[in-house]
Chains A and B, each alone.
Chain A
Amino acid sequence: DAGVIQSPRHEVTEMGQEVTLRCKPISGHDYLFWYRQTMMRGLELLIYFNNNVPIDDSGMPEDRFSAKMPNASFSTLKIQPSEPRDSAVYFCASAGNYNEQFFGPGTRLTVL
């Protein structure tokens, strides 16, 4: 298995632009998580899905952030409009049960 796949690996955009981050979880995993990591705030859980259904989105910072999981093998995290303070590394992780989470390599987002 290739593990969790994220794209793009790096994204540089200008303030106000729409950004879409993509994630392909490990096949067979029922849970998918989106995290954001910054030096100031550490690793924050933004939202997680179970069987493609959003379960808890209380970590989503504001309405500019949205996440979808249209099927078991694909999820997106969208920021519209993006702001400089959104600059961070965004990780997607998947899990087969309430045990270990497998993280993707992350997307490093820079908003100028």
Chain B
Amino acid sequence: GQQVMQIPQYQHVQEGEDFTTYCNSSTTLSNIQWYKQRPGGHPVFLIQLVKSGEVKKQKRLTFQFGEAKKNSSLHITATQTTDVGTYFCAGRGIGNMLTFGGGTRLMVKP
């Protein structure tokens, strides 16, 4: 079946440093979504990418969808303590099933 892998599993950064998480699918995706889960909270939708090579920005967050529609990345510029949490990608593939990656847990030292 479809598998979605995320790396790294954990990332510690100093406040102000940049952060990137990568998402790779075993199959071509129709679209990919990103969610953020704060500690003790629930996943919250951030964005959806649909087109090959698509790049979207939300303030300090930049999302990319690969040309082959099998990978994606989330980059945060100049992290802040409010960025702490786990970031999940979720790829939609065959049968329109949404498969979540394992998540990248971001910790920011003030």
Q: What is A's interface to B at a CB cutoff of 8 Å?
A: 42-43, 45, 56, 91, 93, 98-106
Distance from A44 Cβ to chain B, minimum over Cβ atoms (Å): 8
Give Cα A100 to B33, complex, Å: 8
Give Cα A56 to B96, complex, Å: 11
A102: chain B residues within 8 A (beta carbon): 45
11 A–B pairs (Cβ distance < 8 Å), ordered by A: A43-B43, A43-B100, A43-B103, A45-B97, A91-B42, A91-B43, A100-B33, A100-B45, A101-B33, A104-B42, A105-B41
Q: What is B's interface to A at a CB cutoff of 8 Å?
A: 33, 41-45, 48, 88, 92, 95-103
B96: chain A residues within 8 A (beta carbon): 98
Q: Which of B33, B42, B95, B103 contacts A106 (CB 8 A)?
A: B42
Give Cα A102 to B48, complex, Å: 13
Give Cα A28 to B98, complex, Å: 20
Give Cα A43 to B103, complex, Å: 9
Q: Which of B42, B97, B98, B102 contacts A42 (CB 8 A)?
A: B102
Knowing A42-B102, A42-B103, A56-B97, say if A100 contacts B48 (CB, 8 Å).
yes
Q: Which of A91, A101, A104, A105 contacts B98 (CB 8 A)?
A: A101
Knowing A43-B100, A43-B103, say if A103 contacts B43 (CB, 8 Å).
yes
